[in-house]
Structure 1
């Protein structure tokens, strides 16, 4: 059962006949490029309005905007630093993450910060070491962050947040984070996700991370965006992923560098209901590419076969990313999973 079917099945069980929310637009033949990005100009922080509020008879899943039973998602979220080295693929459980952030690391490669809350698989991984931008990414989520270690200065930064640090090799994680993947070390550290979450059930559930539309048709990009069939991204020399709109599943389908379909370990194609592309400054700190998350810049939100130009802003570490359209209104995503592509200003974004 694919990700979208699992989520619809869970919603029907929890809510009976409550309607599913979002995305559906016919694909388009290959047109000329409509959006091509060079280095963006700095933009001021825009105003931010409140997100959609669910009626009292159901809750909104805070990371996907999907309707769920009242009180059904009280557990903390689990974020993890997921390896994206060729030897680490296919990753375990990443197709079931609520949000995935992709960021540049050393050697022209990328890694992920994936976040699970509404749909937690038995295992996730492989996990790798922390990086200096990760505290800014995960702090708004609270909950748990799992990783394999890292330089002491970066671990200290992560431990200084309110997020619980679950680190491979520590006594408190020996039963839930262990080597066991099919890849060779160091690409084989796996997390037993439900057990790790249950050990920290007292932690708070995440706050709502994005603004969401109430239904498919009213998502900002679906309603106001320009038709788009694909997005091609350049992070670095070895990281040039792409996305293509699939009308049949109403999702964006991911391809790896080179164009091969990007698959999870269970064979599922990696896909996203919402694709958020942010142009970000990246500085090199002692040979470590470091995405600057505090600030603002150019963005696109892609939903329902359309792309909407926007501005992103994040005023401080504990604040979630804010997305605002050119008309000054907050961008509302479709209910469903989201991939956030943190593309360096030195890279490129081409949307066709």
Structure 2
């Protein structure tokens, strides 16, 4: 009996000692826990570059002294996809004859190695080039445009004088959809005609510091326009918020560069309503570029009803009497005839 009680007593003592040691171990463990040091988050300051590209607003470490180059680019279905289209700072799209549109591709911040197909000039193309003080490139001309080019209204080279010399024909396509010019030959041509290639006129464009600053306007993630009754010149612009950019399609096909396969990505999509008049049986147009009028501006998934003005020969989007702020990057400007007008031709979805 006493032995049994002694045995039980011994077990209790051992259990008590074990618990005490466990508590001591836990206490030691608690004492050994080291709280991690709070590391302050280092916020890198945004580098402010000293210069910027005048037509895109994008910062640069060097001064952008390149004179703008304006190329009449073919937009016939047989001319697509075009070469050098994705590198243009601005593309102006407008009717050449009937419902067929052409592009005026403006290059300043970067110049691609190959541009084309190059197509013929119109008098209002020449006037736009003059307003930009651009070195103008075309292959062919309307009668009115020829008079202006012969009078050297703008510094220019034309494929009619330099076909096979500065302008090369592609074997992949048939004329008149196969005339191309290289970056090298642009500068060779400028030297031939004694044209300076240093910028002399800075456009009065205004830019937001960030795409996040664009707040006021109607939500619009998709916008479309159709020139004529068919789908060959039906264009759609779709906004992708992750990139803050628009992609473009024509007749349901993404607009991309033939040489690099790079998609055209735009920060600003602009529509300007301008008076048009058909002047001959070929359907050639006369545009009143000095009129000013209605305009739509699409940027950052937002649509704004604004106006446009001709300021010293430049077609400038305006808001409340001052140049409308653009998102930094590339822009596409579509010229819309007053009849049927911008409200009927341009459609957008929130």
Alpha-carbon distance between aligned partners in 2 of 1:99 and 1:93, rounded to the nearest angstrom:
12
TM-score (norm. length: structure 2): 0.77
Unaligned runs of 5+ in 1: 1-15, 20-56
Aligned to 2:334: 341
Question: How big is each residue's C-alpha offset from its partner over 1:237-285, in whole Å with a ceiling of 9 and x where there is no partner?
Answer: 342211111123211111103x222222132222211111111111111
Q: Which has the higher helix share?
A: 2
Aligned to 2:291: 295
Query: Does structure 2 retain, via aligned residues, the 8 Å contact 1:101–1:112?
Result: yes
Alpha-carbon distance between aligned partners in 1 of 2:171 and 2:81, rounded to the nearest angstrom:
10
Matches within 5 A, 1:198-213: 199-200=190-191, 202-205=196-199, 207-213=201-207
Query: Does structure 2 retain, via aligned residues, the 8 Å contact 1:140–1:207?
Result: no
Is the aligned partner of 1:260 residue 2:257?
A: no
How far residue 212 of structure 1 moved from its aligned partner, in angstroms, is 2.4
Question: How big is each residue's C-alpha offset from its partner over 1:154-187, in whole Å with a ceiling of 9 and x where there is no partner?
Answer: 122244465211101425x754322126221110
Aligned-pair Cα RMSD in Å = 2.3
Query: Does structure 1 retain, via aligned residues, the 8 Å contact 2:204–2:323?
Result: no
Unaligned runs of 5+ in 2: 1-44
Matches within 5 A, 1:246-257: 246-257=240-251
Q: Quick one: higher RCO (CA 8 Å, sep 6+), 1 or 2?
A: 1
Change (3 A) 1:217 1:232: closer
- Helix, strand or coil for the counterpart of 2:347? strand
Aligned to 2:118: 127
Say which one has the larger Rg: 2
Q: 1:320 aligns with which of 310, 314, 322?
A: 314
Is the aligned partner of 1:307 residue 2:303?
A: yes
TM-score (norm. length: structure 1): 0.76
- Helix, strand or coil for the counterpart of 1:335? coil
Query: Does structure 1 retain, via aligned residues, the 8 Å contact 2:271–2:296?
Result: yes
How far residue 290 of structure 1 moved from its aligned partner, in angstroms, is 2.5
Change (3 A) 1:296 1:181: farther
Q: 1:166 aligns with which of 133, 139, 157?
A: 157
Q: 1:226 aligns with which of 189, 199, 218?
A: 218
How far residue 153 of structure 1 moved from its aligned partner, in angstroms, is 2.5
Is the aligned partner of 1:330 residue 2:323?
A: yes
Is the aligned partner of 1:62 residue 2:62?
A: no
Is the aligned partner of 1:116 residue 2:113?
A: no
Aligned to 1:79: 70
Alpha-carbon distance between aligned partners in 2 of 1:214 and 1:230, rounded to the nearest angstrom:
22
Alpha-carbon distance between aligned partners in 2 of 1:260 and 1:210, rounded to the nearest angstrom:
34
Q: 1:270 aligns with which of 264, 285, 299?
A: 264
Query: Does structure 2 retain, via aligned residues, the 8 Å contact 1:90–1:263?
Result: yes
Give the number of equivalent residue pairs: 292
Aligned to 2:127: 136
Change (3 A) 1:267 1:125: same
Alpha-carbon distance between aligned partners in 2 of 1:231 and 1:313, rounded to the nearest angstrom:
23
Question: How big is each residue's C-alpha offset from its partner over 1:215-243, in whole Å with a ceiling of 9 and x where there is no partner?
Answer: 11476xx2322211111112223422111
Query: Does structure 1 retain, via aligned residues, the 8 Å contact 2:132–2:313?
Result: no
Aligned to 2:229: 237
